[in-house]
Structure 1
Amino acid sequence: MLIKKSLYIKTILLLISVFLLQFSFIFAKTHAWNITATRVTDIFEGYEENPQIISDGSGGSIVVWEDYRNGSWRDIYAQKLDSFGNALWGENGTKVSALALDQRYPELVSDDAGGAIIVWENIVSLNVDNDIYAQRVDSTGNPLWTTNGIRIATESLQQMNPSIIPDNSGGAFITWQDERTGNNLYDIYAQRLDENGNALWDDNGSIVCDATEMQVIPQIASDGANGAFITWVDTRPGGSNRDIYAQLINSSGDPQWTLNGIGICTQGSDQTFVRIISDNAGNATILWEDSRTTGDIYAQRVNTTGIVQWAANGAPIVQTSAGKSYAELTNDGNGGAIIAWAQGNPNQRDIYAQHINSSGDLQWDSNGIEICTEEEDQRNTQITHDGVGGAIIVWQDNRRGWQEEDIYAQRIEPDGTTLWGGNGTAIDPLVNGNQLNPQLSFAEVGAVIVTWQDSRTGNTEVYSQYILDIENPNSNSPGPAIYEPNSTETIPWILIDNFAGGFYRVLKNGSEYLSWTPWTSGSNLNIPINTSILGVWNYTIYYNDTLGFWGIPNTVLISIVDTQNPSSNSPGPAIYEPDSTASIPWILTDNFAGGYFRVLKNGSDYISWTSWTNGLNLNITIDTSILGDWNYTVYYYDSSGNWGTPNTVLISITEEDLTGSPPSINGYNPFLLISGIISISFILIRRKTHMKVKK
């Protein structure tokens, strides 16, 4: 069993919910749809379930659903949303059918005039008689055919599981499984309706297949030439094994291939859950779940002549031991298909996808590529093309836990590159309750409209959302940095989005630092850093784009650290007289703040540790009471513990000034007096010596 982690996702969902409650008005200016999804009706009584959706051909959509507003039985209602998400058919939708008992399982197609043709299953008598009904609703929401719809077949017993496609002439082809022959055995029938609701084939439908045993769950696709491919699950071999069969019918309802259809897969095992698409060029691709080994997925391509194009009994899409379910497919635009499915044990499934080309060759990894491998269960996959060879996939996702299921989406390119996050992007993750049973329709290149049933209010309602290329924005990841206090610094965050800019805010150690601010894709935000306070700070940016899709928050660790040593000026030596008033003009400076200093005098403590202020003159008082030479030395450090270089000043305290000529005594210059005495002594000595020589 896969074990997957969700702490990160849950944390992000909590954060973004706070934002959107406060700032949802911002996005209304840039994206016309409500950022938290549009409810298709304002009715709060009862329940609305099982929505289906198509494009209206003008950038909007038409949604149909089962509705309990009139009591305990389901009725059919519809709503049209324009390209801005505005409801066009009244705030509560338009009534399609409100017959007695249940109307259920609606399907719809475009009428090529801005409206829709809707088909559904109606319970005439519980567990006895079901019929197929249809109704056309015009572009303004008015039903055009008989009130509550026209009955497609009036036969007894059960007609079930209708499937519908447009006939490209304002009408529709409809197929269903039919029990009219009794014995709990079903056959496949079809009917064509024109734009006015008239049946163009046999009154109760044309036979597509009435082989022995049972044929069920028909699916239909256009042949591109006013006919239709129909495929179904068939038990004609008997026993518990089911096969896949198909038939082509022309515009008149006549089968074109072998009576009762051709075998698409008659492998001696069970094949079920069949799906079909057309390339509108005379070929159809059929997909099914296959138990020939361990429960795999197979596909086959067939042309209008009934010749299969790939390997007999189908080409394998995926063959692994894990169970597969909810397989769906869409065209790749080149005759191939992109397939999505859920895989894994029940309640622990993931979403995978595969691309097969027109020749039946797999284009991606043989076991498919991972679309979502989050924890808990992902299921109910739906898929449509993106208009440029890729696909958009939606699914029901339980990663937030029980009773908190969300709808997620992923866009995938033809080469298998995913565009909307590693495990997809939540369409509307901000609400409690379950969002279930997603359906989607193509809107424009890279865009879809998604609808689902939603229990955020306690009841079950239908919501829709326009998803225009929901690739999440992303941020670069500036590294941690250390800066000096009071320096000018910035964080060079650059946010990137494939569509436009958005809004961001910055938290500093969990508190708001910058409030929500617009950003432009690719521009350097250069977020200024507060360097006035020492410490370690976590700067975290939260951001989304103008469509409301979120990037992964990025955190940068910023340390404001004082690493510069303080310094001192260097006063010169000085001589002072005893008992004079003098001071040393030391000035200590630092890049951030002050600190502490002390002064030693000839190595002994003179001033104990005292605080100093950056740039102020200390004016250290000198002791002039004692004669002598004194070394005054200042030791100091700043508030960050950085030490400056000690500075020493030589101070001499002397009694008098010894420079210049000495003063005279009683008017005589002592130098002249001494010089005279020396001169007289020298003369006398020489005279005495001279007299001795004469003798």
Structure 2
Amino acid sequence: MKSSSFRHAGLAVAVFGAAAALGPACGHAQWSANPGDNLIVADEYADQTQPKIVATPDGGYYVSWFDDIAHGFGIHLQRLDAQGNELWEHDGILVAERQLGFTYDYGLAIDADGNAYLGYNCCANNSDDEHIAVSKVTPDGTLEWGAAGITVSAPASTERPYAAHLAMTSDGFVAVAWSVDPNFIRVQKLDVDGAAQWTQGGVAVNPPNGLALLADIEPSDAGNVIVSWSNQAGPARTLRAQKLAAADGAGLWGTGGVRVFGQGGLQMGYFPEFIDAGDGGAVFYDYDVVGVRFFARVQRLDANGAPMLDPNGVLTTTDTVNDHVATAAAFDRASGDIYAIWIDTVQRDDMQVYDGVYAQRVDASGQRQWGDTGKELVPMAIATDGTHSISQLTAVSAPSLLGGPRGGFIGSWTTGAIPAPDQPITATRLDQSGNYVWDAQNVAIKNARPTGRTVAVKGASGNAVIYAWQDGADGATTIRVQNLRGDGTLGNPILDRIFADGFDGG
């Protein structure tokens, strides 16, 4: 199944330039304006899964994914230009051939020159030589560090590694972090040639007690990085973070790092991401349990790891009737605003489960700006049969998006779960005051077929958000992508408008 080509492809080449001499043969597609027929970047095998997406400096994107279990969950990568043209052959290039029977999380990052980096487990589950590898892919599709990538961890026969994450540092290096069975994290820093900058095998990040399971890694100031983890000590699971020095990976936030939220515990298997604040600190968001209820929270740490908001974090809603889960957040560096979106869910007296979607703006001083219970985006509806079940929330800050006021954010959610046959992705844009920016309020990103693992990224030029997801029923899933412009429209602008006033001369 292939998506439709854009009718003005020839004109797009004339106006924007073709992607010539890019190594692998180019595919033929562009952004779709039809939410029922989104751009397909991968449909070669029975199932494709776990997409990730990053924006390139030239206005394009890299999309990565795993192929199906019959092919060992090999890692693939595709490069798109700003108009959604596939710049490499359809289904992308094979970055790493693997023989995995199950998957871990992995990392995708990009440097200022447009090179892509992928960090992953290689290459057979539970083998003695299973290890973490990092591959570098140049804009023309060359595997700069070879088919095997650079090995950064000890083999599993020494210590078993899993779940790699990547971050590009402000001094031009790539940092890779991974969990080590049974109880800690390692981090390594590589230069542009793949040479390790820190101790061989990576520096150890140890929890103050219990086990540390990696959640995320993000860049920080002066070439430093920040790592976060779920700290499991007995039945308690808390979110902790540590800042590592650029030169040698030494911990800068004390022994064992800092606890991010002074209250609440994480669910088993939940590893929340966080956001580089741009000032040496970070913005965190999660949902956690206190007593019998789940609460959504946000927090900002300064460059020294001290909380800038309430030590327990700021609750996005004061409601204590519903559970508040699946938090996603965006951060506006200019204003210090944190925008959060989450699912409200509850089982009522009729024994039915109800889901809804809410959003909140927390300002730089930690005050809730959209009321104590947030802004309702999707009213609570019965989700027991899957029809109105909510999942896969994303949030992207919108200060630089073209069209509409500055500030605010774009949030999205997926409605429906098995057995519901269609699971649409819906997006909305709110301004700083919590008002809808688009006349239609909500926009359909996709409107048919099952949906899984939705991710979103803002384009380098700031004028679009790009979504990627696993699409279709099990046994025949594809990877699809879709652009959403700042004015709430899909697809490319009508290029003929460029010539609406005619040509000068001749």
Return the TM-score normalized by structure 2.
0.70
Which residue of the other structure, out of 111, 120, 133, is the alignment partner of 1:77?
A: 133
Q: Which residue of structure 2 aligns with residue 391 of structure 1?
A: 465
After TM superposition, give the deviation of residue 185 of structure 1 in Å: 0.9
8 A Cα contact 2:152 2:202, kept in partner: yes
Which residue of the other structure, out of 183, 187, 194, is the alignment partner of 2:238?
A: 187
After TM superposition, give the deviation of residue 318 of structure 1 in Å: 2.7
Q: Which residue of structure 2 aligns with residue 244 of structure 1?
A: 296
After TM superposition, give the deviation of residue 270 of structure 1 in Å: 0.8
Aligned counterparts of 2:170 and 2:94: Cα–Cα separation in 1 = 25
SS of match in other structure, 1:169: helix
Q: Which residue of structure 2 aligns with residue 673 of structure 1?
A: none
SS of match in other structure, 1:97: coil
Q: Which residue of structure 2 aligns with residue 261 of structure 1?
A: 313
SS of match in other structure, 2:152: strand
Pair 1:12–1:188, CA change in 2 (3 A): closer
1:158 equivalent to 2:214? Answer no
Aligned counterparts of 2:88 and 2:380: Cα–Cα separation in 1 = 41
User: How does 1:175-254 map onto structure 2 within 5 Å?
Assistant: 175-180=228-233, 182=234, 184-195=235-246, 196-211=248-263, 217-236=271-290, 238-239=291-292, 241-254=293-306
Structure 2: runs of 5 or more not aligned: 6-22, 29-84, 347-352, 382-387, 401-405, 499-506
Q: AA paired with 1:324?
A: I
8 A Cα contact 2:261 2:313, kept in partner: yes
Greater C-alpha radius of gyration: 1
Aligned counterparts of 1:498 and 1:172: Cα–Cα separation in 2 = 45
Q: Which residue of structure 1 aligns with residue 75 of structure 2?
A: none
Q: AA paired with 1:391?
A: V
Q: Which residue of structure 1 aligns with residue 81 of structure 2?
A: none
Aligned counterparts of 1:328 and 1:342: Cα–Cα separation in 2 = 10
**Offset from partner CA, 1:667-688 (integer Å, 9 cap, x none):** xxxxxxxxxxxxxxxxxxxxxx
1:346 equivalent to 2:412? Answer no
SS of match in other structure, 1:346: coil
SS of match in other structure, 1:192: strand
SS of match in other structure, 1:294: strand
Q: Which residue of structure 1 aligns with residue 176 of structure 2?
A: 118
SS of match in other structure, 2:236: coil
SS of match in other structure, 1:121: strand
8 A Cα contact 1:223 1:283, kept in partner: no
Q: AA paired with 1:362?
A: Y
After TM superposition, give the deviation of residue 367 of structure 1 in Å: 6.9
Matched length: 396
Which residue of the other structure, out of 346, 353, 373, is the alignment partner of 1:313?
A: 373
Q: Which residue of structure 2 aligns with residue 377 of structure 1?
A: 450
CA RMSD of superposed structures (Å): 3.3
8 A Cα contact 2:131 2:160, kept in partner: yes
Pair 1:291–1:32, CA change in 2 (3 A): closer
Aligned counterparts of 1:11 and 1:371: Cα–Cα separation in 2 = 15
8 A Cα contact 1:34 1:85, kept in partner: no
Aligned counterparts of 1:273 and 1:225: Cα–Cα separation in 2 = 27
**Offset from partner CA, 1:616-639 (integer Å, 9 cap, x none):** xxxxxxxxxxxxxxxxxxxxxxxx
Which residue of the other structure, out of 433, 456, 469, is the alignment partner of 1:359?
A: 433
Q: AA paired with 2:165?
A: E
8 A Cα contact 2:301 2:307, kept in partner: yes
User: How does 1:571-590 map onto structure 2 within 5 Å?
Assistant: none
Aligned counterparts of 2:434 and 2:467: Cα–Cα separation in 1 = 21
8 A Cα contact 2:221 2:279, kept in partner: no
Aligned counterparts of 1:306 and 1:286: Cα–Cα separation in 2 = 13
After TM superposition, give the deviation of residue 498 of structure 1 in Å: 11
8 A Cα contact 1:113 1:139, kept in partner: no
Aligned counterparts of 2:186 and 2:145: Cα–Cα separation in 1 = 21
Q: Which residue of structure 2 aligns with residue 54 of structure 1?
A: 109
After TM superposition, give the deviation of residue 304 of structure 1 in Å: 2.7
Q: Which residue of structure 1 aligns with residue 93 of structure 2?
A: 38
After TM superposition, give the deviation of residue 403 of structure 1 in Å: 1.8
Identity rate of aligned residues, in percent? Answer: 24
Deviates further, 259-268 or 241-250 = 259-268
1:329 equivalent to 2:381? Answer no
SS of match in other structure, 1:363: coil
